[in-house]
């Protein structure tokens, strides 16, 4: 009995610590203002689009880029056609993009494709002052490039992350809840981290850089979660990742259960693998007095929200049955999680329709728990796998 009491208190303490961290980020997010020069002159911007078999998406994505409010003569579009077996390269060229084709089946993945382009195609993008990396299924909002330019024109900003939103929030209850989650994970946590610690974590899409940064580093991160991996490389070299929520880019989220499961298993399996590898090293650096790594440690150590809420509910049930004196701690954690989620929606001015979808959160949490159980029993596949696009499913139906 004593063993279970100790185990419960350890779990409850970890849950409470995670919730306190999220509460701290929530306070920071409400205090956040981005660093940018609002009247900055336009600099030459290179748009990097890594693509694998995106024939059906490419024309739409390039058209969305060209609709943005940015001088056409200062906007160069580069498509990295990576191991494509369709007409991605031809479609991109017909839309006026410069195309670099890569064929290397042994080094597959977005990180590998970016590294190849940045290290071997310098002559292609060398005249650009700024570079941004976007996925092939995105829709940048009209001021996306203008806002990146304003941020990267600030003397203290070399790297900036845009806000990643959902392009199809109301296609299903899953996409709606992902949109609500992005308001928290891709905005509140980013804003809070930058406000309190001066830096945050790249999100893999909608990233902006001064050209010199990518010429120096290439893209040295090749894991499934290459964005987190590269963020830690920049952190070690004291290069801050800033955040501009006014630069908005929206991506298509998986609609069907099979799409969503595959996508989530890849993302979270890669994140869990990276957490197992890096948490001990980051904790060691913090214990040695290098506290600038603390935000990265907590970002990896705090579990996904669905898993955290499940742990809070488990703690409440255990407290009710076995340890009534700890109930206030469990209720405090539950209250913090509600404030945390609600703050993300308020900060991003979520419409009432999205708030209504939060009622389906219990179903989403159950689905995620089953997915985690499947990953634990089978093991996650920590390899790059492309998610089937909605347009491809529609094309199959037709």
* C-alpha to C-alpha distance for 331 and 334, rounded to whole angstroms: 5
Q: Which residues contact 146 (CB under 8 A, 6 or more apart)?
A: 42, 68, 69, 70
Residue 397 lies in a domain: no
Q: Closest Cα partner for 231 from 268, 262, 190, 264?
A: 190
Task: Assess contact for 206 and 164: CB atoms under 8 A.
Answer: yes
Q: How far is CA 374 from the centre of its chain?
A: 23
Residue 253 belongs to a domain with what CATH number?
A: 3.90.550.10
Strand order in the sheet with 130-133: 98-102, 75-82, 45-51, 130-133, 207-210, 159-166, 241-251, 138-140
Task: Assess contact for 96 and 83: CB atoms under 8 A.
Answer: no
102 forms beta bridges with: 82
| Region class of 36: left (phi > 0), else alpha (psi between -120 and 50), else beta | beta
* C-alpha to C-alpha distance for 261 and 368, rounded to whole angstroms: 9
Q: How far is CA 123 from the centre of its chain?
A: 30
119-to-106, 136, 211 alpha-carbon distances in Å? 18, 21, 12
Helix H or strand E segment including 207:
strand 207-210
Q: Closest Cα partner for 323 from 3, 7, 8?
A: 8
pLDDT of amino acid 366: 86
Residue 113 lies in a domain: yes
Q: Closest Cα partner for 58 from 77, 41, 43?
A: 77
Q: Closest Cα partner for 91 from 136, 58, 50?
A: 58
b/e string for 227-242 if b means 16 or more Cβ within 10 A?
bbbbbbebbeeebbbb
pLDDT tens track of the chain, all 398 residues?
677 778 888 889 999 999 999 999 999 999 999 999 999 999 999 999 999 999 999 999 999 999 999 999 999 999 999 999 999 999 999 999 999 999 988 888 888 999 999 999 999 999 999 999 999 989 899 999 999 999 999 999 999 999 999 999 999 888 999 999 999 999 999 999 999 999 999 998 999 999 999 999 999 877 767 888 899 999 999 999 999 999 999 998 877 666 666 666 666 777 777 788 888 989 998 999 888 889 999 998 898 888 899 999 988 988 888 888 889 999 999 999 999 999 999 999 999 999 999 999 888 888 888 887 877 777 655 555 555 555 555 554 44
Residue 285 lies in a domain: yes
Burial of 330 (0-12, 13-18, 19+ CB in 10 A): buried
Helix H or strand E segment including 130:
strand 130-133
Q: If you write DSSP's letter for every residue of 211-253 in order, what string do you get?
A: HHHHHHH-----STTHHHHHHHHHHHTT--EEEEEEEEEEEPP
Residue 368 lies in a domain: yes
The interaxial angle of helices 257-287 and 294-301, nearest 10 deg, is: 140
- What are the start-end ranges of the H helices in the chain? 2-30, 55-66, 88-94, 110-120, 122-125, 144-152, 173-182, 189-197, 211-217, 226-236, 257-287, 294-301, 305-321, 327-347, 352-357, 361-378, 390-397
Range of the domain at 279: 1-392
pLDDT of amino acid 126: 93
pLDDT of amino acid 276: 83
Could you count the other beta carbons within 10 Å of the beta carbon of residue 210? 19
Task: Assess contact for 127 and 148: CB atoms under 8 A.
Answer: no
- Structure pTM? 0.89
Residue 139 lies in a domain: yes
Residue 312 lies in a domain: yes
Residue 388 lies in a domain: yes
pLDDT of amino acid 260: 63
160 forms beta bridges with: 208, 242
Q: Closest Cα partner for 40 from 160, 146, 156, 159?
A: 146
**Number of domains the chain contains:** 1
pLDDT of amino acid 125: 94
Residue 398 lies in a domain: no
* C-alpha to C-alpha distance for 219 and 113, rounded to whole angstroms: 9
């Amino acid at each position: 009995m004593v063993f279970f009491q100790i185990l419960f208190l350890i779990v409850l303490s970890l849950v409470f610590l995670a919730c306190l961290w999220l509460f701290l980020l929530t306070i920071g997010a409400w205090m956040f203002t981005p660093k940018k020069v609002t009247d900055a002159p336009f600099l030459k911007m290179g748009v990097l689009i890594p693509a694998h078999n995106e024939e059906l998406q490419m024309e739409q994505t390039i058209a969305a880029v060209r609709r943005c409010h940015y001088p056409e003569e200062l906007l160069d579009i580069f498509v990295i056609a990576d191991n494509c077996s369709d007409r991605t390269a031809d479609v991109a060229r017909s839309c006026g993009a410069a195309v670099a084709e890569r064929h290397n089946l042994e080094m597959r993945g977005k990180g590998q494709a970016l590294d190849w382009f940045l290290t071997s195609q310098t002559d292609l993008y060398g005249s650009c002052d700024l570079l941004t990396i976007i996925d092939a299924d995105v829709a940048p909002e009209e001021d996306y490039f203008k806002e990146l330019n304003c941020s990267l024109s600030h003397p203290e900003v070399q790297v900036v992350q845009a806000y990643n939103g959902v392009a199809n929030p109301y296609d299903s209850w899953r996409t709606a809840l992902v949109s609500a989650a992005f308001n928290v994970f891709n905005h509140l946590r980013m804003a809070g981290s930058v406000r309190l610690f001066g830096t945050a974590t790249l999100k893999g899409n909608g990233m902006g850089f001064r050209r010199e940064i990518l010429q120096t580093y290439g893209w040295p991160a090749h894991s499934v979660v290459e964005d987190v991996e590269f963020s830690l490389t920049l952190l070690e070299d004291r290069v801050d990742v800033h955040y501009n929520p006014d630069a908005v880019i929206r991506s298509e989220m998986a609609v069907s259960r099979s799409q969503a499961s595959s996508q989530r298993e890849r993302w979270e399996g890669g994140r869990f693998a990276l957490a197992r590898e890096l948490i001990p090293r980051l904790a060691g650096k913090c214990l040695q007095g290098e506290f600038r790594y603390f935000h990265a440690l907590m970002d990896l150590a705090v579990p996904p929200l669905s898993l955290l809420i499940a742990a809070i509910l488990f703690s409440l049930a255990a407290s009710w049955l076995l340890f009534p004196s700890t109930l206030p701690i469990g209720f405090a954690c539950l209250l913090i999680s509600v404030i945390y989620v609600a703050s993300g929606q308020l900060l991003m001015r979520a419409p009432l329709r999205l708030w209504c979808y939060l009622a389906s959160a219990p179903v989403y949490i159950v689905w995620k728990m089953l997915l985690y159980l499947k990953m634990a029993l089978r093991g996650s596949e920590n390899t790059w796998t492309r998610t089937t696009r909605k347009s491809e499913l529609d094309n199959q139906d037709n």
